[in-house]
Structure 1
Amino acid sequence: MPNISPIPAFNDNYIWLISNGNSAAVVDPGDAAPVARALAERSLTLDAILITHHHRDHTGGVKALLARWPEARLYAPAAEPMPAASGTALQEGDRLTLPSLGLELEVMAVPGHTLGHIAYHGQGLLFCGDTLFSGGCGRLFEGTPQQMHLSLSRLAALPEDTKVYCTHEYTQANLAFCHAVEPNNPELKKYLQNVAKLRQQGLPTLPSSIGLENAVNVFLRAHVPGVRAAAQHHAMAELNGDAEVFAALRRWKDDF
């Protein structure tokens, strides 16, 4: 398996660096400078760039990186603007192989945060951009609550040991919201303590795992009676179905 490490960018972004020997790929490089430094420090050549969605903090470094490493291959969502002049457009069910990294990934369409958002998964790894966060999910800038609920449900159904590489260090704030919704969840309480220790040391809280997220992330737990009851109490309305519960949770979080 390749080595995967976070490159911090901006205030809270992570650009994921996937490396093996002399070669590397990066996921969602919003800024070229920290990527170039990390590659130089490790004497790595950039072979591939993987994009999950079109937002600038995920694509802003693409052109500069391709200018420096013109042989690198660019992969991006087919349903969104390509962040450079050339690249491979990907959609649901496509597969990409990165031979130098010994990695094969499948593409999942996960609309919600943006309409064309994709995720990459395979070999126990999930690069999910801004769809799923640890303890949270992305804001609905373009999609509907129903789309995001379906996207998250598909991710939640992946094997529980799948490692979750999302692209923002939002975990502590997300868990505060989860605790407001589900204050008696013992797994959540334990995770809150672990995350607090990591952040006190300045360490990343990621990757997470699908099993952990299913246990603590209220956006994956709309089917749980206590989560539904909390959402209904806050919304002061009867909620019919898990998608409506999710929508109420997302509105609650937007103002939390």
Structure 2
Amino acid sequence: MALKIEQFTCRSDNFGILAHDSETGETALIDAPEERPILQAIERTGWRPTMILTTHHHVDHVEANLALKARFGLTIIGPAAEADRIPGIDRQVKEGDKVRVGAQEAVVIETPGHTAGHISYHFAGAGVAFTADTLFSLGCGRLFECKPPVMLASLRKLAALPLETAIYCGHEYTESNARFALSVDPTNSALKERAAEIARLRSEGRPTLPTTLAVEMATNPFLRWHDPVIRRNLGMEDASDDDVFAEIRKRKDVF
């Protein structure tokens, strides 16, 4: 049976996520950005969480950890490399470790770049990946703790997942990401169609996520460092992948 997902807004632009295994009734939170909207989502769905799958240490992803642990007695799972910065952590995980939510199994993918210990969770059987602040729709996370080659290596890992994988990200950044993407890839017809779809969704007050890896591979400049058109637009036809990616990230930082 499927992994059911309830996605909802927290803080100003974070997403909270409840992931529910319909076979066993077990439920996980993906990060814990803010207590009140999480409690509202739990009440709305009736899904009582037994664990938090933490992606990284930033406060807007762990703020409600301790309050929810006290309320529900849940287990907090998070990256071993950031264990000392994850409030209430019970289980430390690293590359290749497996986490079960009822009958559903996730593999941990280490995806440093935004932070040095960031991880993503890939539920292959459900066709879902939770990438938090590594891969956004039409974007990637800012490089607060790592150099561009580190993030590029993480994005290569995610780009190797099945194209039909549904991608759930940590923030609703897609509209602004689309504006930047068009600045470096203005003739991409798939990107222009996606940007129009995003504008419509946001005008209707609807989220732009989840996306799919197939859509991102066709439209997201941070997954298209190899594309000859983007390289030509940047004047970097013969540059290394690392240099092209770093230039795209640098331009986004000041866009």
The interval holding the TM-score normalised by the smaller chain is over 0.9
Instruction: Provide the secondary structure at the position in 2 that maps to 1:248.
Output: helix
Matches of 2:21 and 2:157 in 1, distance apart?
A: 29
What's the counterpart of residue 98 of structure 1?
A: 101
Provide Cα deviations, 1:216-250, integer angstroms capped at 9, x if missing partner: 00010000011112223xxxx77621111000000
Query: Do residues 74 (structure 1) and 73 (structure 2) align?
Result: no
How far the C-alpha of 1:24 sits from its partner, in A, is 2.1
Shift of 1:16: 1.0
Aligned to 2:249: 250
Paired residues for 1:1-256 under 5 Å:
1-20=2-21, 22-70=25-73, 72-80=74-82, 81-99=84-102, 102-122=103-123, 123=125, 124-232=127-235, 240-256=239-255
Q: Give the conservation status (yes or no) of the 8 Å contact 1:239–1:245.
A: no
Structure 1 unmatched ranges of 5 or more: none
Distance (Å, rounded) in 2 between the aligned partners of 1:48 and 1:147: 29
What is the number of equivalent residue pairs in this alignment? 249
TM-score scaled by structure 1? 0.93
For 2:116 and 2:234, locate their aligned partners in 1 and report how far apart those are by CA, in whole Å. Answer: 26
- The two structures have a TM-score, normalised by structure 2, of 0.94
Measured on the aligned residues, the alpha-carbon RMSD in Å equals 1.4
SS at match of 2:49: strand
C-alpha displacement of 1:47: 1.1
Q: What is the CA–CA distance in structure 1 between the aligned matches of 2:234 and 2:42, rounded to whole Å?
A: 45
Partner Cα separation in structure 2 for residue 113 and residue 160 of structure 1: 23
| Segments ≥4 residues shifted beyond 6 Å | none
Q: What are the ranges of 5 or more consecutive residues in structure 2 without an aligned counterpart? A: none
- More deviation, 182-191/34-43: 34-43
Q: CA deviation at 1:7?
A: 1.8
Q: Please tell me whether the aligned partners of residues 76 and 88 of structure 2 are also in contact (alpha carbons under 8 angstroms).
A: no
Aligned-partner Cα distance in 1 for 2:14–2:222 = 21
Query: 3-state SS of the aligned residue for 2:81?
Result: coil
Task: Compare 212-221 and 83-92 and name the one that shifted more.
Answer: 83-92
Q: Separation in 1 of the partners of 2:66 and 2:213?
A: 33
The share of aligned pairs that are identical, in percent, is 41
Superposed CA deviations along residues 48-71 of structure 1, whole A, max 9, x for unmatched, are: 10110000000000000000001x
